[in-house]
Structure 1
Amino acid sequence: MLSVENLTFGYTASRPVLEGVSFEAAKGHCTAILGNNGAGKSTLVQCLCKILTPKSGKVLLDGQDLLACSPRQIARQVAYVAQYGEAARFTVFDTVLLGRKPFIRFSPTAEDYRVVEEILERMELTDLSMAYLDELSGGQRQKVLLARALAQKPQVLLLDEPTSSLDLKNQHGMLALVSRLAREEGLTVLLVIHDLNLALRYCDRFVLMEHHGVRAQGGVEIMTGELLSQVYEMPVTVEQSHGFPVVVPLSPVQSLAS
């Protein structure tokens, strides 16, 4: 269980980005971090892995305060995939091998190579293992960066807008894969995402952020038209389509008439 308690962060003392943020994320679940631009979503996930150091609060993983750990200790438990993945001149194999860095003392061991080969096979990247990262499509590159994160063998996987540069097919493919990995590997997955319908399709827990704090958290039951309209400051309704909940924006006229 990942527990965040009263997390506060600001780039300056007079401009807080996060204020008293508290929520929980369980193993085996995908938790979507939602909210308007400027709500502090990306800042939050960077604070969870100490890329940014919070002013106060705790980030507890099974009772251990991650903020009191060294970067190496955190990297052995938490993996982070940034919003914009780099396209460096590394092969796919070497890129994924970088995920083993927190465990490597002098040089990679046979176990490190085994882990990389296993992940490449599982993510259907073996045929691309000697291809260069900057030669891949956006969807392929995003998949490689996810594989690198998984090579860390993390308990917690943090994804910052993992579908932002992907086409429709790759958006659904990426999130279906992440959702499956959460269930099968028992990972605690938190992802920042703007597309509410993708979040509803592939996540089972939700944290709604508003005014630098948490407005609500829970399962699909909190994803109501009323609450989403308040958080996103525009009228929406949540309806069922082909067995899935779908957020439908409403015009002000439709909202007043309903």
Structure 2
Amino acid sequence: MTRLSKEILTQTIKKRPEISHKGTFGRTVLIGGNSQYGGAIIMSAEACVKSGAGLTTVITAAKNHSALHARLPEAMVVSFEETAVIDSVLETADVVLIGPGLGLDQTALKLLQKILKNQQAQQWLVIDGSAISLFSEYQLALNFPEQTVFTPHQAEWARLSGLSINKQSEKNNCAKQADLGAKIVLKSYRTTLYDQAAAYYQNPLGNPGMATGGMGDTLAGMITGFLAQFEKTIDTLAAAVYLHSLIGDDLAKTNYVVLPTSISAALPRYLKKYASERK
């Protein structure tokens, strides 16, 4: 087990090259937010954009478009029903996130099946929230497990792995991750990352003020933004996890509750700091 520290940030976050453009920092597609849970995908998108992703497109229920445009005009938006446009943006995506606020209905299932079926060899896929539950319930399969990241909390991991919470030991979790082949970001009081290439990482940070709705959606968006622009490795996932909690801990020094959107708002400043400290 490797205990994460600030070193993972200076190893991962790098200065932006002088000669660059939007495409330099990756194209991301985020899918989620049904008519009831639009806030989830908006928080993911905000974290993704403020993490530095070059181009971000959000596929969400039409009801959420006005709110997304008002909150985050930097993101493009597509409706669930716009099949041709969805196919077009997916074709050019570097990283796809599906699940925040997606729901469990047939529309959500069909979108997840489409993503799994059409994932390309160069694309990374982040599966979060209700998409994890759908994947587990319908026993779906991965085309590129080595390029897939699941971000479950412990109850979602129980559904995905078949391990009840009291059976989720380090040994059992490592074994189930090896069976799946995908990388696992297991969210809890001390979030742990599992991957055969690195055994597992444990995040020592986090605080009770972060126990509020949308925190996982924000982390999923950060992971997506980091994968879009930095090296596509377990270390990059670890850097996103660590920075998410580091900002949360700093905010908790003066705030009783740490809002996910406050973490996103702080991201550009923290990224600048650790890019500047990189040797």
* TM-score normalized by the length of structure 1: 0.30
Structure with max Cα Rg: 1
1 or 2, which has the higher strand percentage?
A: 1
